[in-house]
């Protein structure tokens, strides 16, 4: 899954600040732009882990277009932070499932386009289906 992040410009004396608009209270920073994005990905995983342990489902990510026009982010840089939701489980369990090959190809292509693994996508899709039921 990829969450949009807003990056406040850094300077010679301040770090780049990062906020995750879809996850209120989730923020990070880094001395370089690359470090800021990497630290944001770690912060998102920790934030989501706390939410899941508290019985909450991870919120869906907004589109960049929906967030870019928000007041207060003028001059900020937007990026996508990739997080693998399958990393949130404390114990991974290997399973063997059977799906049509065309569906598996579509799952893999979708997951890759969205910065996820097959396992992460299937876990997220299952959680979303159960939440919607």
What is the tens place of the pLDDT at every residue in 1-37? Answer: 889 999 998 888 889 999 999 999 999 999 999 999 9
Task: Please report which residue ranges of 54-100 form alpha helices under DSSP H.
Answer: 64-68
In the sheet with 27-30, reading across from the earlier edge strand, the strands are 27-30, 16-19, 2-8, 77-82
> Are the C-beta atoms of 81 and 5 separated by less than 8 Å?
yes
> Are the C-beta atoms of 78 and 3 separated by less than 8 Å?
no
Distance CA 25, CA 122 (A): 27
Task: Assign domain 85-133 to its CATH architecture.
Answer: Orthogonal Bundle (1.10)
> Are the C-beta atoms of 3 and 80 separated by less than 8 Å?
yes
- Angle (deg, nearest 10), helices 101-113 and 118-132: 100
Q: Where do the DSSP E strands lie in the chain?
A: 2-8, 16-19, 27-30, 77-82
Structural fold of domain 1-83? Double Stranded RNA Binding Domain (3.30.160)
Whole-prediction pTM value? 0.66
In tens digits, what is the pLDDT along the chain, a chain of 133 residues?
Answer: 889 999 998 888 889 999 999 999 999 999 999 999 999 999 999 999 888 888 887 788 898 888 888 888 888 999 999 887 777 766 677 889 999 999 999 999 999 998 888 988 898 888 788 777 7
Boundaries of every domain in the chain: 1-83, 85-133
Other Cβ atoms less than 10 A from the Cβ of 72: the count is 8
Nearest Cα residue to 18 out of 35, 34, 40: 40
- Tokens encoding 15: 């770090």
């Amino acid at each position: 899954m990829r969450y949009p992040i807003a990056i406040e410009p850094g300077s010679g004396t301040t770090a780049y600040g990062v906020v995750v608009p879809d996850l209120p209270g989730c923020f990070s920073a880094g001395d370089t732009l690359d470090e800021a994005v990497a630290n944001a990905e770690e912060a998102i995983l920790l934030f989501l882990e706390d939410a899941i342990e508290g019985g909450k489902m991870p919120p869906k990510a907004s589109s960049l277009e929906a967030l870019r026009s928000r007041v207060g982010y003028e001059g900020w840089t937007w990026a996508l932070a990739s997080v693998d939701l399958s990393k949130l489980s404390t114990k991974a369990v290997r399973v063997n499932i059977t799906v049509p090959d065309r569906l598996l190809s579509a799952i893999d292509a979708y997951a890759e386009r969205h910065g996820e693994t097959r396992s992460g996508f299937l876990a997220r899709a299952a959680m979303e289906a159960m939440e919607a039921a």
